[in-house]
A and B are shown apart, each in its own frame.
Chain A
Amino acid sequence: EVHLVESGGGLVQSGRSLRLSCAASGFIFDDYSMHWVRQVPGRGLEWVSTITWNSGDVGYADSVRGRFTISRDNAKNSLYLQMNGLRAEDSAFYYCAKAMAVAGATLDSWGQGTQVTVSS
């Protein structure tokens, strides 16, 4: 069974940094693209970032490009999101999600999320 567990969220001041982690199990981690998606409570889903199976291609939403960096460690079955220069509008639940393919964006498994709150 696929299991994704996010960690690293918390309360942080505007302008500071946080690093989110996602521990994966139950599947061959380096066979799949991975994504971060965020959601402000009561609002819709917003795609944040993507990384392909071998880190060969990454993508970012315009709202986070230049501030956030996605990475993965296939040896540790882990996905990361380094968030710098945090803003109040970055406050949300952050989900890691597994794609159905090495470079796909159909998200067939999701973690339960970690909450990030940025105080201004």
Chain B
Amino acid sequence: DIHMTQSPSSLSASVGDRVTITCRASQGITTYLNWYQQKPGKAPNLLIYAASNLQSGVPSRFSGSGSGTEFTLTISSLQPEDFATYYCQQSFSTPRVSFGGGTKVEI
């Protein structure tokens, strides 16, 4: 099974900050990597698919990069509504997919 490791597990930031979250796969997954945002009490929401493609309706301050085993999610200028938990997910080994442990972005 492919194991996904996110870092950091939590971070503190301020409005306007540039934030970067890293996700590492235990083996190469080319660009089969997705990012989700989850707010408390809500279902996850797809932000980025195939490593770098912005899902429709997602603000352009979100971006993704990487391939192989290392990936990043960047928020260029943190907004109040961005305080949430972010998860990466590999879809390389479909149907057996897996999620990272999550990164909580706090004030």
A47 to B91, CA, bound (A): 11
Nearest A residue (CB) for B48: A106
A interface residue count range (under 10 / 10 to 19 / 20 to 34 / 35 or more): 20 to 34
A61 to B98, CA, bound (A): 9
A-B pair number, CB within 8 angstroms: 65
Decide if B99 touches A112 in the complex (CB within 8 Å): no
A46 to B101, CA, bound (A): 9
B contact residues, total (Cβ < 8 Å):
24
A105 to B38, CA, bound (A): 18
A63 to B55, CA, bound (A): 31
Q: Which chain A residues have a beta carbon within 8 Å of chain B's beta carbons?
A: 33, 35, 37, 44-47, 50, 52, 57-59, 61-62, 95, 100, 103-108, 110-113
A37 to B98, CA, bound (A): 10
